[in-house]
Amino acid sequence: MAQPLTIEDLRILAKRRVPRMFYDYADSGAWTEGTYRANETDFQAIKLRQRVAVDMTNRTLASTMVGQPVAMPVALAPTGLTGMQHADGEIHAARAADKAGVPFTLSTMSICSLEDIANHVGKPFWFQLYVMKDRDFIARLIERAKKAGVTALVLTLDLQILGQRHKDIRNGLSAPPKPTLANLINLATKPRWCLGMLDTPRRSFGNIVGHAKGVGDLSSLSSWTAEQFDPALSWDDVKWIKDLWGGKLIIKGILDPEDAEKAAQSGADALIVSNHGGRQLDGALSSIAALPAIVDQVGGRIEVLFDGGIRSGQDVIKALALGAHGTFIGRAFLYGLGAMGEKGVTACLDIIRKELDITMALCGLRDVRDVDGRILVDGNRQRRA
């Protein structure tokens, strides 16, 4: 493929290069995938106001997220098994994010560990926490995050139990893939991926294996995960984690104004309006449809961040116009990673930056921090106007 110009170009390349079970793991949602699709398509109904003959020189995309400077208000979302899209995937993505001046968020369910990122990237990053029943393990994980130089903790609340994703079940998703005939045939068509994997020791869940009790090998890991995610998680646990962590706290997975209110009252620094990329409750609102009511409820009292369905810089600016202070991208960067490793994540961030910058200019603005409901045509303009 010639130079990728869109996130869709990166997706097509990733589909060619990444083994099917891991490509499908990224490009899928729960049950009918209705919410997954709506996350993307609902952006299309939002229309921008074109402005002319206004000064478009000296533009800036620089902003902040939880008080930390960012080159543009776009962070890499936490995604599990990122090191299966490409060998050492989390290290590559963290390096690309660092070079682009945007935050990288490591998932609890990553392949590379907290220590791997600290040792191989050496720059501050964010860490996403899933709450497991084994609270000793959680306390130790938080300590490890502090030692690794993590500057914000992203606490995910929307995965107390796992939404059903048909493709993962049909593909028999595991890390690394089991040597079944179907997998071996598929892997034979992905030589680049296989060579990368042969060259790295990181092929399992780096934050967990060897750290959590009773998890020494992969076969016990899947059952451990199913057993360990805590279905009894409550706002009291959020308080416990907030106190234990003591730093910047971001609550992820808020889709309802009542929950947003609780997040604001919890004293967290930010919340992320998110439906986990349509991977949990199918039939829920798209993230962009849920955003305005949450901004109305808590905007001004807690920083409102956003993720879900962002495939362009235009989607970023629409989320900002509807009241988000910053955004996260999941699949967009995973497609870049699967397509071309670190270079692909850089390409993804370049594409989004350019689209964001040109769109902002054509809407008549020069500073991303000035984006608000005025850039949307009537009907969408009520927010932050």
Ligand X SMILES: Cc1cc2nc3c(=O)[nH]c(=O)nc-3n(C[C@H](O)[C@H](O)[C@H](O)COP(=O)(O)O)c2cc1C
**Annotated binding site: which residue ranges?**
25, 78-80, 107, 128, 130, 156, 165, 252, 274, 276, 279, 307-311, 330-331
Write out the binding residues for ligand X, residues 50-79 only, by CB under 6 A.
77-79
Asked, as a colleague might, if the bond just before 103 is cis with ω within 30 of 0, I would say no
- Comparing CB distances to ligand X, the nearer of 38 and 363 is 38
Q: For the chain, what is the largest distance between any 2 Cα atoms, rounded to a whole number of angstroms?
A: 66
Of 143-151, 263-271, 275-283, 351-359, which segment contacts ligand X by CB under 6 A? 275-283
Query: Cβ neighbours of residue 370 under 8 Å, at least 6 residues apart?
Result: none
By CB under 6 A, tell whether 156 contacts ligand X: yes
By CB under 6 A, tell whether 292 contacts ligand X: no
By CB under 6 A, tell whether 254 contacts ligand X: no
By CB under 6 A, tell whether 86 contacts ligand X: no
Active site residues: 276
| Residues binding ligand X: number (CB under 6 A) | 25
Query: Cβ neighbours of residue 120 under 8 Å, at least 6 residues apart?
Result: 88, 91, 94, 112
By CB under 6 A, tell whether 165 contacts ligand X: no
Closest separation between CB of residue 131 and ligand X, Å?
A: 11
By CB under 6 A, tell whether 276 contacts ligand X: yes
By CB under 6 A, tell whether 163 contacts ligand X: no
Query: Cβ neighbours of residue 303 under 8 Å, at least 6 residues apart?
Result: 65, 66, 269, 270, 271, 325, 326
Place of tokens 């139990």: 161
By CB under 6 A, tell whether 329 contacts ligand X: yes
Query: Cβ neighbours of residue 60 under 8 Å, at least 6 residues apart?
Result: 366, 367, 368
By CB under 6 A, tell whether 252 contacts ligand X: yes
Quick check: helix, strand or coil at residue 345?
helix
By CB under 6 A, tell whether 107 contacts ligand X: yes
Query: Cβ neighbours of residue 294 under 8 Å, at least 6 residues apart?
Result: 254, 255, 256, 257, 260, 271, 273, 304
- Comparing CB distances to ligand X, the nearer of 134 and 307 is 307
Write out the binding residues for ligand X, residues 17-56 only, by CB under 6 A.
25-26, 39
- Comparing CB distances to ligand X, the nearer of 4 and 308 is 308
Helix ranges (H only) for the chain are 7-17, 20-26, 34-44, 89-100, 114-120, 135-147, 166-171, 181-188, 191-198, 218-228, 235-245, 257-265, 287-298, 313-321, 331-362
- Comparing CB distances to ligand X, the nearer of 4 and 253 is 253
Using alpha carbons, select from 294, 318, 324 the residue that is nearest to residue 44: 318
- Per CB under 6 A, the list member of 73, 89, 299, 308 interacting with ligand X is 308
By CB under 6 A, tell whether 309 contacts ligand X: yes
Q: Tokens for 326?
A: 């910053």
Query: Cβ neighbours of residue 240 under 8 Å, at least 6 residues apart?
Result: none
Using alpha carbons, select from 152, 113, 375, 100 the residue that is nearest to residue 272: 152
By CB under 6 A, tell whether 307 contacts ligand X: yes
Closest separation between CB of residue 219 and ligand X, Å?
A: 21
What do you get for the CA distance between the two ends of the chain, in Å?
42
Of 169-177, 192-200, 233-241, 331-339, which segment contacts ligand X by CB under 6 A? 331-339
Annotated binding site for FMN: 78-80, 107, 128, 130, 156, 252, 274, 307-311, 330-331
Per CB under 6 A, residues contacting ligand X are 25-26, 39, 77-80, 107, 109, 128, 156, 252, 274, 276-277, 279, 307-310, 329-332, 334
